[in-house]
Structure 1
Amino acid sequence: MFHGLSAFPLTPTTETGIDEQAFRALVTRLATAGVDSIGALGSTGGYAYLSREQRARVAALAVEAADGVPVMVGIGALRTSQVLALSEDAQKAGASAVLLAPMTYQPLTEDEVFGLYEDVTRELSVPLCVYDNPATTHVHFTDELHARIAALPNVAAVKIPPVPDDPAGAGARVDALRALLPDTVTLGVSGDWTAATGLNAGCDAWYSVVGGLFPATALALTRAARSGEAARATALSSQLEPLWRLFRRYGSLRVVATAAELLGLVDHPGLPRPLRGLTPPARRELAAALAAVGLGPA
């Protein structure tokens, strides 16, 4: 399941709970579009802001609405005991895999990060994807740490941060890391504006924010890259530059949450406080960008 497009939907959240109807509808859109997998409770899904009970419910809803499409569930938390509990909940819900980012308040040493994965993989019965997201977690993986973790049982994939913009640099980055990993561990790119470059450089999967809202658009790019049509994949990504520009400026979560509101797929506000969607001027920028790339409201 760690190949192709893994689409990460929002978890529409109010101050009183989860908008279950809206979440179901978002996941159903992805399953109907034919995405390769669905990533529930990733950073786009706001996992860090939800209680254990809410996360267990979202995991169950995702598996049900996915209608057979593999679902990967985020299990990151500050304490190992919490991660283990969330892992148990995800597996009980029927998740096909789990996604683990090392959350931290006190800075973690490499041995502490390794120990987290060692403790969790020991208890797993489903594959695990390592979530390397320094912009959010402030944990920086060395290649050597990736290699140590990848050798653990049940580790099946690594989700890496954005690759370098230039194809040669991206290729060198992917090749260097892949050389340290077992053949059984896949590499997937995040940072949507570098997805085409990462896929063209040999990444196996795209863990996509935009794919969680616009699956057909993300699938076209993914299929082009995976079939060897590098120029087409690059062109499709370039067409989305007005959107990528806003991702880089405001953060992909705020942009995609506001886009979902503009499309009428979620109510306002859809993010848990203190997070907020885009300001009125930025919303107008986003509306213009969506129209420019053909993704605006009908």
Structure 2
Amino acid sequence: MDITKLRLFCNLASSLHFGRAANASHVSPSTLSRNIKQLEDDLGVSLFVRDNRSVILTHEGEQFLGFAKEVIQQWETYQESLLAQADQLRGQLSIYCSVTASYSFLYEILTEFRVKHPGIAIKLHTGDPAQSIERILAGDEDIAIAAKPDKLPTGISFKPINSSPLIFITANNEDWQGKNWEEIPVIIPEEGLARERLNIWFDSLGIKPNIYAEVKGNEAIVSMVSLGFGVGVAPQIVVDNSPLANKVKRFDPQPDLGPYDTGLCVMEKRLKSPIVAAFWTQLQ
């Protein structure tokens, strides 16, 4: 099995666009198309349905994607182990976290890591923390900074960094005294731990919330709340580190939604990689 073809296949499966996948792979679209066709011929199945406008994974393509990612990871782990034996870790480490986590936690971790391992390139992606564990399970990232779910998925290891309460916030000039939750517009995350905790809390009180907006990312919730669109829920650490912290205040009374534990997460099998293990073991 040709690792180069597998990487081209994964890039196309990710972007579903020949032009973007070719650019990301540093090859021409014709080279990409030829390699995908050769891979399909080798397998005897079609991996993509494609026309002039779209590219879609077939059922066989979706199944093969998991296999391809696994083979690539095993190959990279083997290469890293050879370099580790030569006492020179080199390669790439993919990390996913929220914007807040990138400067609240990651800066200090990476500063020390880069001194110890200058030959390792860091590939950093930022986004909604609710997607962190999903991206680890899908094999899209090596390491993620994530909120610990109430039940960790099988095969995931978690190492805590920080614990912060989930708090209700509102704009400084808003006063919801005397209003009930059916009247108060609420801004909630689309998914993730905070959304799960909110759903449980509202259900326990028999409340049907007046949802004004469902938002991706805690930083976006703070922004919308500061503009006076309603009451939102976010981790205390996100609020404290937001440039809009002085434009919002804690909502009173403050319901208890439990702690928001943040830490590193990784697939246990990825710890066989010397690069991933080096990053993981650095955090005590």
TM-score range for the pair, normalised by the shorter chain length: under 0.3
Q: TM-score, normalised by structure 2?
A: 0.24
Q: TM-score, normalised by structure 1?
A: 0.23
Write 1 or 2 for the structure with the bigger share of strand: 2
Q: Highest CA radius of gyration, 1 or 2?
A: 2
